[in-house]
Amino acid sequence: MRIRIYLTVLTSLLLPILFCGCKTSAKTGSIQYEYLLVERQGGGQLDFRVYPGQSRSHLNVYVSSSDFQPVEKRFQLQIDENNADAIDDFYKALNGQVSLKGKQKVSGKLKGTWLYLRFVRGNRETEVTNPELIQRFTLFEKLVREQIGMN
pTM of the full predicted structure?
Answer: 0.73
Reported confidence tier of residue 30, pLDDT bands at 50, 70, 90: low
Q: Is the dihedral of CA 120, 53, 92, 66 positive or negative?
A: negative
pLDDT tens for residues 130-146?
999 999 899 999 999 99
How far is Cα 102 from Cα 67, in angstroms, rounded to an integer?
A: 30
pLDDT, tens only, 94-121 = 998 888 887 765 555 556 778 899 999 9
* Coil, helix or strand at residue 99: coil
